[in-house]
Amino acid sequence: AQADSGAPTIFDKIISKEIPAQVIYEDEEALAFRDINPQGPVHFLVIPKVRNGLTQLSKAKEEHKPLLGHLLYVAAQVAKQEGLSQGYRVVVNDGPNGCQSVYHLHLHIIGGRQMNWPPG
């Protein structure tokens, strides 16, 4: 995983529909779409439509608090929509040690199988 360069990412092209994605939820602030390399029977990402400095969670500022809350709430609603009644995992990879590869904040929601803890 590389460090944040601040450059636009592939997610900007997904937001603008320049490249296709399986979008499963969208509102004015957030987009949810299926991960291209799923780590479980269900694996989707929830992202802010406007990155606004939120390349990664560790860059969060006071002004981002409502958006951060919204993203987590959307994650729960879409998980319900996806039928994950037995539970799921929500992950945010941050920075090189967190194995972040796309520098546009995103929540991973993974479910449909038994997860393990602690993670590797």
Binding site for ligand 5GP (CB under 6 A): 10, 21, 33-37, 93, 99-102
Question: Which residues have CB under 8 Å from 117's CB, separation 6+?
Answer: none
End-to-end CA distance of the chain: 15
In one letter, which amino acid is 40? G
Nearer to ligand 5GP, 10 or 60 (CB): 10
Q: Give 45: exposed, middle or buried? Use CB within 10 Å, 0-12, 13-18, 19+.
A: buried
Least CB distance to ligand 5GP at residue 59 (A): 14
- The reply to whether 106 belongs to the active site is yes
Q: How far is the CB of 13 from ligand 5GP (least distance, A)?
A: 8
CB of 102 to ligand 5GP, least distance (A): 4
Q: Catalogue the active-site residues.
A: 106
